[in-house]
Amino acid sequence: MTPSPSRTRSAALLAALAVLASTACSSATHSSAMHQSTPSPSAMDQGEAAAMARARTDSIRHPYTQADIDFMSHMIGHHAQAIVMSKWAPTHGASAQVQTLAARIINAQQDEIRTMQTWLRDRGQPVPPASPKGMVMMGGMEHTMLMPGMLTDEQMKELDAAHGVDFDRLFLTFMIQHHRGAISMVKELFGSYGAGQDELVFKLASDINVDQTTEVTRMQKMLASLLVENAPETPPAGGRS
């Protein structure tokens, strides 16, 4: 039996509508997938904030003690004084060897100061300024406390007044004293119960210990050579035969 034209048109119309519906559904699904795969700016901001929060939580998860806080706080001023001493080398007629040593001290200790200040700030601790005069103490009245090995005002003035060979001799003598003080601070840290467990504190303190122990040995050799080279000549002993 041959279908009527009206029934044929109805079937064709239904088929067309089915195709359109399928296409629309596919487009909607694709649009939804695209929308889901491309996060909004606000979602991206929230993700970055969450990542930063997780990073901070991870950084403070390691145990740290008051001894760690004291070490990081006190070493900032200690380093600051070494940097001031080292910056005098080019302006006070220091030898090339001493200037090279001084430049190395400046580069290393400036970076370490920034590391220590960031560590304290991330843990909500007071961040002392990089003062070459030592740690500012508050106890009824404000005063500064020198850390082990730090130079007194008189020693700093003596170094500042020296030039040439005299500056080299005093710089090496005082910096050996200064470095030994820093090494003793590291030993005190590691000798404190529970201290030095934080990964960054341990690495920084260990680096300071190794670097400054090595530099003390180098400076002792430099100082010995300097003293020999500039020793006053001893007149030959003798007399008339």
Give per-residue pLDDT as tens, 39-57: 555 665 676 565 455 445 6
The answer to whether 86 and 103 have CB atoms below 8 angstroms apart is yes
Residue 192 lies in a domain: yes
SS3 of residue 141 by DSSP = strand
Q: Is 21 domain-assigned?
A: no
Q: CATH number, domain at 97? A: 1.20.1260.10
Residue 31 in any domain: the answer is no
Q: Which two tokens stand for residue 98?
A: 């001493």
Show the domain range for 142. 63-229
Mean of per-residue pLDDT scores for the chain: 81
pLDDT for the residue 24: 45
Distance (Å, rounded) from C-alpha 23 to C-alpha 15? 13
The answer to whether the pTM exceeds 0.85 is: no
Residue 52 in domain: no
- Structural domain includes residue 128: yes
Q: Does the residue 16 lie in any domain?
A: no
Rounded to whole angstroms, the Cα distance separating 129 from 126 reads 10
Of residues 189 and 49, more confidence is placed in 189
Rg (CA), the chain: 35
In a domain, 235, yes or no: no
- Dist CA 97 CA 104 (whole Å): 11
Q: Is residue 188 part of a domain?
A: yes
Alpha carbon of 198 to those of 119, 149, 192: distances in Å? 10, 25, 13
User: How would residue 102 be classed by pLDDT, with cut points 50, 70 and 90?
Assistant: very high
Q: How many domains does the chain have?
A: 1
Q: How far apart (Å, rounded) are the C-alpha atoms in residues 91 and 159?
A: 12
